[in-house]
Structure formats: C-alpha cells, structure tokens
Structure 1
Amino acid sequence: MTPVFVMATIVLVGFFITKKMDISIQTRKFLSFTVINFALPAVIANSIFQTPLDREMWNNFAVIYIFGLVLSSIGMAAGYFAAKSMGYDSSSRRQLAILAGCGNTGFIGIPVAYMIFGSTIGVYAAIYDASTMTLVFTVGVLLLKGERFSVKQLRSLVNAPFITLVVSLLIVSTGVEIPMYFTELAGTLAGISAPLAMIYLGLLIPTIPSSSYKAVRDAYKRFIGAAVSIKVLLLPTIAFTALLFLPIEGELAYIIVIQASMPTFILAIVLFERYLGDGSQNLGITAILLSSLLSLLVLPIAIFLGTTYL
C-alpha cells in the first residue's frame, strides 16, 4: 500500500508547486514529453531486459492484450449507452465512451506497475497499454471523427513506448546480450517515470478556471459521474470477478486488475480538442482529474484483492 500513498503525496507536491510558482504550458509539455519519450521507454526496456521470454511468457502477453481489448471495449460500450440513457447528444455519447473505456495505462499504469511489482509486471503493463492504444486509435478515433476507418489512423500507434516495446522484444528474443551501459541507463531513467508522471498530474489540477469547473459540473454532473464510475469502479470490478472464474493467477491477474483500475487516459484532452473543439477538452480534463483522484483510492483496494484472492 505504501507506494500508492507515496504517489498520492507526489501528486500533492505537484499541486503545491503550482501555488509557489507560475507553471507555463511549456513546462507541462516538457514533463509530458520527458515521460512519454524517455521515462516510459526506459521502464519498458528495463523490464524486458530482465524478463526471460519463453513460450509461457508469449502466451501471457496474448492473454493480457486480449483482456485489455475486451475490458476497454466494455467500458466504451457502457459509457456510450449510459450517455444515451441520460439523454445526451451524439457528440457527448462518443466522448463518454472514450472517457469511460480508455484508461491511462501507459503514462500512469506502466510506472505504477513497475514501481509496485517490478520488471515482469512492467512488461505486462506495456502489453496492456498496447491494447488500449490500439482501441483508442481505431474505434476511439472513429467515434470522434464519425468517419470510416483509415489505415493512416494507425500511424498514431507508432510512438516511443510502442517502438521500444517491439524493438526490445525483438532484441531479447534473438538472445543478444545487452551491454551493461544500456541496462543501467534504462534502469536509471525508469526510476524517474512514476515521480514525473505524478508531478505532472498535480500540475494539471489548477489548469481549469473555477468558472469552467462550475459549467462542467452544472451541465455535465451525471456525465462526469458516469465516466468516473465506469472507468475506476465498474471495469476493475468486472476484471476481478472474471478472474475469479478463469485459470489466470499471480502477476498476470494482478496487472489486469491494476490496469483496469487506471483513470481516464490523458490523451483524451488532445483528441477532444482535435476532433471536437468547442472547449470539449474541459470535460476531458475534469474526468481525468476526478478519475485519477478516485483511482488513487481504489488502487490499494484493487492491489489487496488481487494479491489476496487471485
């Protein structure tokens, strides 16, 4: 439980920083860029370098990937029909589907898993994140654009963490010995991933003026409530219940429950702004912040249940 409380404290540190100095958009971009392009790839590489890849491990990768796709799809469907039942328009239904189904399994999920459980879980977390990103940049973008699928959408999958995942798996699969310099570099950079991600989350808290919070709260109270409840409460509950009846246990089960408990993914802000505009990113930021705070409360419970009963 201690690592979770440590992460919550680091989030508060990030928020405290915003009270003592002006944090520009460029500063937040710098942190985000550093985590996505250096720290997360380092976690993935360091995890893979320390994990023996045999047939059982590849089977585990397939299980995690499929589980990730299924859980995210359930969340998206639940979000869409929840918005429809509450009478929201088509655009809001599509937004709720994204917010409820797609978790922050990369930016937060990978560092958290690595920090709490170590290298093998870090690899599993990266595989789960690959399934999330696959769904985001196929079904997710289709929902927001309202157009037909295009292969060009898959280009967004080619980012630093994904490239690192593929290249590292190929290198380790060939049996090539990794020079100590690279393993130490990856290990050092991996150590900063969780702290930087948590500080970034803290820096996000004051980014929306109180007037915007009030507007979102008044017009979209049930919307935000549904997004947060489905993402942080319903999906981990479904994951845990399913795993009780399936022959999946140990680290494999832990990471599925943990990643299912992750808050709404940060890229929702970018996608809403790009495809919808009209200040819709405020909904994304609000859902991200609230689901992130709730996730910090749910995560210790998910870890306890997973390690005790799975």
Structure 2
Amino acid sequence: MPDVDLSQSLWMLLAFVALGWVAARRLKLDPRPIATLLIYLISPLTFFNALTQGQPSIDKLALTFGVVLLSSLLCLAVNAVAGRFYAEQERALLAFSAGTGNTGYFGFPIALVLLPPEGVTQYLFCMLGISLYEFTVGFYISARGQFSVRESLSRLARLPLIYAFAGGMLISALGWQVPQPVSEGLGYFKYCFTVLGMMIIGMTLGRISWRAVDVAFVVGCVVTRFVVWPLATLALAVALRLLGDASDSLVLAFLLVGAVPMAANVVVIAMELNIRPEKGAIAVLLTTLAAPLLIPLYLGLVLPWVLAL
C-alpha cells in the first residue's frame, strides 16, 4: 500500500469543524436551516450530477446496490440489538450511523491516492450506495425514533434525493447528455456539501457542553464503525476474491469503504429529525480524529493478506 499522508485531509476537515464552532459561538448561527438545505437541495443535486457523469453500467450499479444492501442489513441488525441497551432516540441514531460512513470528503481523497482510475470509479459507485442508503432505509429507521410508521414514510417520500437518483438513472439509460454549463454548475454543489457538512458538526458542538458526552453511545458508534464495518467489508472482499470476481482495485475500494470514520450526515439527519444531534456530533468528531491512525494500520495489515488469496 502506498504511504499515504492523511494529515492534510484531517486538518482541512477539522478546520471546517472549527469554523462551524466559531459560527455557533460568535455569530449565534442556527445549524438547523443548513441541515435542511443539505438534505433537500445540495445532496440531491450532488447525487444527480454524479450519476449523470458516471455512466452507470450493470457492474457499477451492482456495487451501488450491494453496498445499499450491506448498509441496510447492518443498520437493521444494530437497530435490533441496540434496543436492549439504548433509549429510543439513541437507538435510532446509532442504527443509522451503523449503515453509513464518511466515504465522501474523507474517504474519496484517499481513494484518489490509493486507487487507479478504474478503482476510483468503483469506489464512487460504492459511495453512491452509502448515500442512497442514508436517504432511504437509514432515514426511515432514524425517523422511527421520533415518529410513527405513517409519518416516517411520509417524510421519506418527501426526500428529493430518491427522485434525483431516479432522474439520473433515467437520463443515463436514455443516453442523454446534461449540457456542459449545467454540469459545471452542478459540480460546485459537492464542495458546498463538504464544507457545510463538516461545519454543521462544529455548529452543533458549539451549542452544547462536553458534559453531554454519552460514553455508552460513543462506544456503540466506535464499535459499529471501526469493528463491525471493517469485518463486514473484509469478509465480502475475501469472498469475492475466492470466487475470482474481485480485482485488486475493487478489494481495496471495499476495504476503504469499511475503514472511514462516521459520516457527517449522522449529524445532518439527526438535526433534521431532532434526534440527539449533539451526541452524533461528538461521536463523529472523535471517530474522525481516530481515522488517520487506524486506516493505514488496518489497510497495512489486511490488504496484503487479501490480495495474496
């Protein structure tokens, strides 16, 4: 594995968190409208543009829906187990976080360094699977921590990312091309998502006291993100390798998806649904700080073994 310096990505992300903290403390900004903006405008447009630019194929979409299935199974499993140990809202938030990770603005820069162009494309379609999970199964399970089944389904049906996915798939299937000026304009939204997604963590932290730290919740998040996910993606990579269907780049893409820290969308969704966003923000920050130490160690240990199969 190449020697990857993660410090630059880490400091960039932490700088955005710090800006969010200053905005909440000094400017008294409310992060909730920003969370709504991310969910209902920025995320769908970013997702739509990625689909129309990525030229989906059967093999690539199999990666996307395979990751959706894996994420959903982990979410449902943690949701069932966590009900014995956590209150309703904490259980819902932990279940949502169990199915997702910061594959975008944390994992993607690493993928660009580690993977060849083919592997980067494979990683992108895995990343799309994470996003699709967040705004379907993940959103519904989170909403159930606060709302009835009917209200949860109603809120899910109003999410534009689902329709952005359908629209992007339709345009790709018909072979249409998005006009270049439109595509370039949509491309800016991914940067908005990166900056605002990390700033919202800082804004949430700026409005709470560290006495709000829930050790049991943080432990649950760390175990699901840094134990359950790496083991699940490792098992999948080994299985595909033994079946002879996994290239070296695909193996590394799967392993990287399993090793990234918690997603900032944990805070975004929690804020939109009002289910303990402060607890999510603390857990996201702590796992982000730990990731630069754990990712090289994990990949260095398991990657040579899997590639030798």
Query: TM-score range with shorter-chain normalisation?
Result: 0.7 to 0.9
Tell me the equivalent position of 1:57: 60
Could you report, residue by residue, the CA deviation over 1:86-143 in whole angstroms, capped at 9, with x for unpaired residues?
A: xxxxxx3433433333229789434445444455533432222222333334344335
**1:3 CA drift (Å):** 7.7
Q: Which amino acid in structure 2 is aligned with residue 263 of structure 1?
A: M
Q: Specify which of 32, 47, 51 is matched with residue 48 of structure 1.
A: 51
**Cα offsets for 1:33-68 (capped at 9, x unmatched):** 554445433432332223232322333333222111
Distance 1:159 1:184, change over 3 A: same
For the pair 1:11 / 2:13, whether they are aligned, the reply is yes
* Deviation digits for residues 213-272 of structure 1 (CA, Å, limit 9, x no counterpart): 32x44xx43x23432222322222332332243216444762575267442611224434
Structure 1 position 238 matched with structure 2 position 245? no
| Aligned twin of 1:290 | 286
**Which consecutive unaligned segments of at least 5 residues does structure 1 have?**
84-91, 274-279
**Which whole-Å CA distance do the structure 2 matches of 1:259 and 1:154 have between them?**
31
What is aligned with 1:86? none
Number of equivalenced pairs: 285
Q: Distance in 1 between matches of 2:40 and 2:151?
A: 24
Q: Are the counterparts in 1 of residues 135 and 159 from structure 2 also a CA contact under 8 Å?
A: no
Deviation at 1:299, TM superposition (A): 4.5
Counterpart of 1:53 in 2: which secondary structure? coil
Match of 2:199 in 1: 199
Unmatched tracts of structure 2, length 5 or more:
112-119
> Aligned ranges for residues 109-188 of structure 1 at < 5 Å?
109-117=103-111, 118=120, 120-145=122-147, 147=148, 149-150=149-150, 153-188=153-188
Q: Name the CA distance, whole Å, in 1 between partners of 2:22 and 2:93.
A: 28
Distance 2:109 2:45 in 1: 13
Cα distance in 2 for residues equivalent to 1:190 and 1:306: 31
Q: Retained in 1: the 8 A contact 2:140–2:156?
A: no
Do the aligned partners of 1:40 and 1:161 also contact (CA within 8 Å) in 2? Answer: yes
Answer yes or no: is the 8 Å Cα contact 2:74–2:99 preserved in 1. Answer: no
Structure 1-normalised TM-score? 0.72
Contact 2:255 2:299 in 1 (8 A): no
Q: Distance in 2 between matches of 1:42 and 1:104?
A: 25
User: What's 1:277 paired with?
Assistant: none
Say if 1:111 and 1:194, in contact at 8 Å, map to a contact too: yes
For the residue of structure 2 that corresponds to 1:287, the secondary structure is helix
Q: Which amino acid aligns with 1:290?
A: L
Question: 2: CA distance between counterparts of 1:263 and 1:72?
Answer: 13
TM-aligned CA distance change 1:300 to 1:40, over 3 Å: farther
Q: CA RMSD in A?
A: 3.6
**Who is 1:258 aligned against?**
257
So what's the TM-score if we normalise by structure 2? 0.73
Indicate how the Cα distance of structure 1 residues 258 and 46 shifts in structure 2: closer, same or farther if over 3 A, else same.
Answer: same
Residues 38, 189 of structure 1: 8 Å contact kept? no
Give 1:168 shift.
Answer: 0.9
Mapped to 2, the partners of 1:39 and 1:107 lie a distance apart of 18
- Distance in structure 1 (CA, Å) of the matches to 2:14 and 2:294: 17
- The structure-2 alpha-carbon separation of the partners of 1:157 and 1:116, relative to structure 1 and needing over 3 Å to count, comes to farther
- 8 A Cα contact 2:136 2:156, kept in partner: no
Question: Which residue, out of 80, 83, 86, partners 2:83?
Answer: 80
1:189–1:143 Cα change, 3 Å: closer
Question: Which residue number in structure 1 is paired with residue 74 of structure 2?
Answer: 71
Contact 2:17 2:199 in 1 (8 A): yes
Distance 1:94 1:138, change over 3 A: same
How many angstroms does 1:176 deviate by?
1.0
What code does the residue aligned with 2:217 have? I
